[in-house]
């Protein structure tokens, strides 16, 4: 069963088409990069997957659960790191994480244990009583990742999670997420426009102006697009008119 199955999804903002018949799926325990320039439709797609917007055209399933019809069951299986910072800056790290745990029905000792363990994972142990306001951008992102993992999701969505961070923080966050894929078997959809975050073994989905222009393993996308590297392939797929979707089997 696919961790995420996006089938024929379209979405419009009034007359402006943001997504047009987008279809792809993500297998469990894989790292998939959703590539696209600003305005490609990445955030709209995230809003649809997380049921912030209703899916009007097509369907989205998370481990078989339709996001529109069984949103509760679908959302229990997904952890989300939004592009915008979503920590409550007036509250401490622990209070922020406890709040999120409560929103997933996790309370008391169990919540405390999970928070302590996850702060270890994101290398923020000992900071749980700090106010979120006192943290740096990179630290806030780490806490948001810990928060997204609190309810033990099987699928993790990260929307431009490293934007605005320094190189070291970016590398650290990326390494942590990749390790989660390996050790915990979490499926990851990593949205970015930063091509250097893609590795050879990754799967990629490329969006351009709401259209899906390529999907598959990095090597296959590079080969099909006739480019010499994923950087060139992304550049071609994003800026040059392409004739149809480069279909690559995973």
Partner 1 sequence: MSAPAMPEKVAGIIPVKFEKFGLRHYLICLKGLVLRECLRFLHQRERFISSLVRPLIWLFIFAAGFRQVLGVSIIPPYKTYVLYEVYITPGLCGMILLFSGMQSSLSMVYDREMGNMRTLLVSPFPRWFLLVSKMLAGVSVSIAQVYAFLIVAWFWGVKAPPIGYLMVLPALFLSGMMLCALGMLLSSMIKQLENFAGIMNFVIFPGYFASPALYPLWRIQEASPLLYKICLANPFTYAVELIRFAFYGQINWLSLGVVAGCTLLFLAAAIIAYDPSRGLMTRKQDTGGNA
Nearer to partner 1, 25 or 55 (CB): 55
3-state SS string for 48-112 = HHCCCCCCCEEEEEECCEECCCCHHHHHHCEEEECCCCCCCCCCEHHHHHHHHHHHCCCCHHHHH
3-state SS string for 136-168 = CHHHHHHHHHHHHHCCCCCEEEEECCCCCCCHH
State how far Cα 154 lies from the chain centre.
Answer: 12
Residue from 9, 26, 45, 118 in contact with partner 1 (CB under 8 A): 118
DSSP H/E element including 211? strand 211-217
Residue from 8, 27, 64, 102 in contact with partner 1 (CB under 8 A): 102
Residue from 175, 194, 219, 240 in contact with partner 1 (CB under 8 A): 175
Query: Least distance to partner 1 from the beta carbon of 112, Å?
Result: 12
Residue from 99, 209, 242, 245 in contact with partner 1 (CB under 8 A): 99
Within 13 Å, how many C-alpha atoms sit on residue 139's CB side? Answer: 15
Contact 72, 103 (CB under 8 A): no
If one asks whether residue 40 binds partner 1 (CB under 8 A), the answer comes out as no
If one asks whether residue 57 binds partner 1 (CB under 8 A), the answer comes out as no
If one asks whether residue 239 binds partner 1 (CB under 8 A), the answer comes out as no
- Quote the CA–CA distance of 24 and 173 in Å, as a whole number: 25
If one asks whether residue 109 binds partner 1 (CB under 8 A), the answer comes out as no
If one asks whether residue 84 binds partner 1 (CB under 8 A), the answer comes out as yes
For residue 69, give every residue at least 6 positions away whose Cβ sits within 8 Å of its Cβ, in sequence order, or none. none
If one asks whether residue 176 binds partner 1 (CB under 8 A), the answer comes out as yes
If one asks whether residue 183 binds partner 1 (CB under 8 A), the answer comes out as yes
Give the interface segment with partner 1, choosing from 32-40, 164-172, 203-211, 231-239 (CB under 8 A). 164-172
Its sign, for the CA torsion 229, 234, 235, 241, is positive
String marking each residue 193-222 x if it binds partner 1 according to CB under 8 A: ------------------------------
Dihedral in degrees, nearest 10, Cα atoms 39, 41, 43, 44: 130
If one asks whether residue 180 binds partner 1 (CB under 8 A), the answer comes out as yes
Residue from 40, 80, 158, 198 in contact with partner 1 (CB under 8 A): 80
Nearer to partner 1, 68 or 242 (CB): 68
If one asks whether residue 172 binds partner 1 (CB under 8 A), the answer comes out as yes
Query: Least distance to partner 1 from the beta carbon of 233, Å?
Result: 27
Residue from 8, 27, 64, 103 in contact with partner 1 (CB under 8 A): 103
> 218-225 and 230-239 are packed helices; what angle lies between their axes, rounded to 10 degrees?
60
């Amino acid at each position: 069963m696919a961790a995420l199955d996006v089938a024929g999804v379209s979405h419009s903002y009034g007359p402006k088409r943001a997504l047009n018949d987008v279809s792809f799926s993500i297998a469990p325990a894989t790292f998939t990069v959703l590539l696209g320039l600003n305005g490609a439709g990445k955030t709209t797609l995230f809003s649809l997957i997380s049921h912030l917007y209703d899916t009007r055209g097509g369907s989205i399933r998370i481990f078989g659960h339709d996001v529109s019809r069984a949103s509760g069951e679908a959302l229990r299986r997904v952890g989300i790191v939004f592009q915008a910072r979503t920590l409550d800056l007036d509250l401490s790290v622990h209070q922020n994480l406890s709040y999120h745990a409560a929103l997933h029905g996790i309370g008391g000792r169990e919540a405390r244990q999970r928070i302590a363990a996850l702060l270890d994972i994101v290398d923020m142990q000992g900071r749980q009583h700090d106010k979120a306001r006192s943290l740096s951008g990179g630290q806030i992102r780490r806490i948001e990742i810990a928060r997204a993992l609190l309810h033990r999701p099987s699928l993790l969505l990260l929307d431009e999670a490293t934007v605005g961070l320094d190189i070291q923080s970016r590398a650290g966050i990326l390494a942590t997420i990749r390790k989660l894929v390996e050790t915990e078997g979490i499926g990851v959809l990593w949205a970015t426009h930063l091509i250097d975050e893609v590795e050879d073994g990754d799967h990629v989905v490329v969006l351009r102006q709401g259209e899906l222009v390529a999907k598959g393993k990095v090597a296959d996308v590079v080969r099909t697009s006739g480019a010499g590297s994923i950087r060139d392939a992304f550049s071609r797929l994003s800026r040059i008119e392409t004739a149809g979707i480069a279909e690559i089997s995973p």
